[in-house]
Amino acid sequence: MKPETLALFVFLLLLITSCSNKEEFDVSKEYSPISLMYKEKPFLTPGQKLEDLDAELSYRLDPMSHENGNFKHKKDFLSTDDYFTVQLDIGVIGGIVFFHSDNSNNRITGISGNWTFSTDKDSLSLQVAFDQFTHRLFPILNEKLDSKRSWNLEIDKINYTETFKLIKPEEEYGFWKFYYKAHPK
């Protein structure tokens, strides 16, 4: 895939998504790590301090956030770190992860992510893409994604729920999309 095509996918994801919403983690509660992996470890634990993120992670303020510019309460961030992109033999799975922190204590209070599968649409190519994707980023979903249909799953954890959605394209020329969100109960 050409770099400009990947950049367009990431830009479109950026335009239509953000993790900012009214559902935020209560930093006074204890949480277990989320299922999204970063370099073979859980990406984060809700409520952890921003400075405790992996030092190699690249992220920046989310320019599309409604909160940015008003840093009184929280800051929204996004990451297009290379680790969240899965290179395939034919194609790529481009990802973007959003999170925000509370300014009063610098703790992470929200997390979501989106991925677009740009690969051949035959069932074997899609299944290989799904397998590489889950193996790298969501091992908890290994062998659970199906190239025949859209798919939803919610996993309840102590004090929060993780939501996973795989969306089959409506048009033949469309792309499969995967959405992730961890939200408090």
d(CA 12, CA 50): 26
Interval 20-37 mean pLDDT: 79
pLDDT tens string 157-166: 988 999 999 9
* Local confidence band at 35 (pLDDT 50, 70, 90 cut-offs): very high
Residue 6 reports pLDDT greater than 80: no
Task: Give the residues across from 185 on adjacent strands.
Answer: none
d(CA 105, CA 84): 27
Task: Tell me which of 17 and 110 has the higher pLDDT.
Answer: 110
pLDDT of residue 10: 46
d(CA 61, CA 153): 29
pLDDT of residue 132: 96
d(CA 47, CA 5): 35
pLDDT of residue 8: 46
The DSSP output letter for 49 is B
Q: Mean pLDDT score of the chain, rounded to an integer?
A: 85
Beta strand residue intervals within 8-150, DSSP E: 37-38, 41-42, 60-61, 74-79, 86-87, 91-102, 107-119
Residue 67 reports pLDDT greater than 70: no
Assigned token pair, 103? 């300014």
Residue 3 reports pLDDT greater than 60: no
Q: Taking the CA atoms of 60, 66, 67 and 68 in sequence, report the sign of the dihedral they define.
A: positive
Tokens 């993120």 label which residue? 53
